[in-house]
Amino acid sequence: MLANTTVDGCTLNSEGQWTQNGAVVTEKTSASTGQNTAASQTSVPKGVPVEIPGTYSYVYFKDYKMVSGRMLFQDSDTKLYGYMDGAGNVVIAPQYNGYGTGNFSEYGYAIVYADGGYALIDTSGQYMVAPGSVWSLNGIGYNVYTFATSSSSPKGIIIGGVRKAEPTYTNVYTNGVYIMGMTGSGFDIFDMSGNKMGYVEGQAISYKNGSPLIAVRKGTKYALVYGGKAITDYLYDSIHLHHDSTLAVLVSGSRMALAGENGIILGLGEYLYGINEGILDDRQSLVGGYALVQDVDGEAGYALADATGLVSEFSAGSNRWLYDRDTSANGVMLVVGTDNKSSKVVDLASGEVYPGDYYNGYYIELKDGTYYLMDGTRCEDMEPFSAGGFYYATFQVDGKYGLAVNGENVSDTLCNTKEEAIASYNVYKIIQENGKPVVGYGNEAAGFHSYGIRYYQDGIYYDEIADVGDGYYACRFDTTWYLIRV
């Protein structure tokens, strides 16, 4: 049943209709009771609880979320699984014995188990891959699935529910730019629509998510691959890549070269690059379309390069690396170091390097007294403070004020005062009130000044609240869970 009859300005009338200012909100049947609720998750009045069918523990909602407008639930009687939408409507009736992913993907597909086999469904419940038609089915990310027709068969490729390649491959990989199918002697390279781009020989492949460059090993040597074709020979002992980067570092013995989609940019032996990508060491020389390079004897220090070559002057110093965030949209790239006075800011338009005087992981203060947040926002003044375990700072630009949280500008617009800047930043967060969970609205600095979800009924709190994503919370009172949109 619905937990209360008046929420967020909407009232449930005697006919089971939600009304607002005397007008009936569009109706549709509730998942649990058959009562009328609003028709879709976007038109459901905020704060209206709808019952989630079934019996659950709090831990369940840590794993199963509202994604693509669908959330998994289990029928208490049949123990079969189905999906509900944000209005509490059963959009896919309980019919599955189990599930592969549980959650829908952001692309609108889910793996389920029915009639003795795995299947792929869309958000309406239509089978894109029918039960029993494949022996195995696995999502590998970016709307790409692999399938096999038996325990010993190779793997095929499914994209968006459509078969794009029959079982041919020992293994299949994707980085969101390409799909790579491994054969006995090399790799077929596809674009993300499943169009074959080319084939490269090799026994092993290296890639990073979001990067258009791939490294393929044949024997003991690597070649660089772009667009489905090798753009270098198999000459290199190793090739270093980085997520979302359009550059690569080629290593041959003690010499290094910088390369991009058109091949080598800065040749072997001219420069050195910081290439340590160990788990405990996040120092990077490659970020986005930029690389940090050092002259081979180390005397000139460091400079910034892109696909055209060097784009900045050399700056003296050692133990530097690029901050692992592409801030080029703000016209700069950030260089950080092993101590708080060795960081720099590189202006991409002029190539000028501005020396830093202080760095703490949240901002760089330059020697001229200006500041840069770690998202590349330039500030004339800054006043940092801590609140609720977060690093806050008010900053000033052209006489106006903004707010930064953990080194990132969170102000949509600049304000006239610091107080306005702090108060303008609001998020939902589960907090405690009188020993009970509520969903507060505000921030740690200004306080949570209003509530998205507070009471089950007139002054009676919920027992548990879990964030299930997409602006929804699962709230338990006694043994019943309710879904609520904030």
The rounded distance, in Å, linking the Cα atoms of 467 and 483 is: 10
Please give the residue that has the higher pLDDT: either 31 or 86: 86
Amino acid 1: pLDDT: 34
- Evaluate if residue 42 carries a pLDDT over 90: no
3-state class of 57 per DSSP?
Answer: coil
Torsion of CA 203, 204, 210, 212, to 10 degrees: -40
Residue 301 lies in a domain: no
Distance of alpha carbon 145 from alpha carbon 100, whole angstroms: 12
Q: How far is CA 323 from the centre of its chain?
A: 19
Local confidence band at 281 (pLDDT 50, 70, 90 cut-offs): very low
Asked if pLDDT for residue 7 goes beyond 50, the answer is no
178 pLDDT more than 60: yes
pLDDT value of position 113: 93
Q: Which residues contact 144 (CB under 8 A, 6 or more apart)?
A: 157, 158, 159, 172, 174, 179, 192
Torsion of CA 460, 466, 468, 469, to 10 degrees: 90
In contact, 369 and 354? CB cutoff 8 Å: no
**320 found inside a domain:** no
> How many structural domains does the chain have?
1
User: Do 197 and 204 form a contact (C-beta atoms < 8 A)?
Assistant: no
120 in a structural domain: no
Helix H or strand E encompassing 439: strand 436-443
Task: Kindly give, in sequence order, each residue whose CB lies less than 8 Å from that of residue 432, ignoring residues fewer than 6 positions away.
Answer: 438
Q: Is residue 179 part of a domain?
A: no
Query: Which pLDDT does position 11 carry in this prediction?
Result: 54
CA–CA dist 341, 107 (Å, integer) = 45
- Whether 29 has a pLDDT exceeding 80, the answer reads no
What pLDDT band is residue 262 in, cutting at 50, 70 and 90? Answer: very high
pLDDT per position as a tens digit, 214-252: 999 999 999 999 999 999 999 999 999 999 999 999 999
pLDDT digits (tens, 9 = 90+) for 387-424: 888 999 999 999 999 999 999 999 999 999 999 999 99
**Closest-CA residue to 358 (of 369, 349, 348):** 369
123 located within any domain: no
Q: What phi and psi values does residue 481 have, to the nearest 5 degrees?
A: -105, 145
- Note whether residue 18 is domain-resident: yes
Which tops the pLDDT comparison, 6 or 47? Answer: 47
40 has pLDDT over 60: no
**pLDDT the model gives residue 274:** 63
Q: Which residues of 295-315 are buried (b: 16+ CB within 10 A; e: fewer)?
A: eeeeeebbbbbbbeebbbebb
Dump the DSSP string for 323-349.
-SS--GGGTEEEEEESSTT--EEEETT
Out of 278-287, 397-406, 420-429, pick the least confident. Answer: 278-287
User: For the residues of 130-145, what is the DSSP string, one character each?
Assistant: -TTS-SEEEEEETTEE
| CA 171 – CA 173 distance, rounded (Å) | 7
Q: What percent of the chain has pLDDT over 70?
A: 88
More confident residue, 165 or 270: 165
Angstrom distance (rounded) from CA 202 to CA 309 = 30
Nearest-angstrom CA–CA distance, 138 and 49: 35
pLDDT, tens only, 81-121: 999 999 889 999 999 998 888 899 999 999 999 988 999 99
Over residues 183-198, the mean pLDDT reads 96
pLDDT band at 276 (very low <50, low <70, confident <90, very high): very low
> Is 45 contained in some domain?
yes
Q: 3 is in which domain, residue-wise? A: 1-51
Rounded-to-integer distance, Cα 290 and Cα 109, Å: 36
Task: Tell whether 74 is covered by a domain.
Answer: no
**Mean predicted lDDT score pLDDT of the chain:** 87
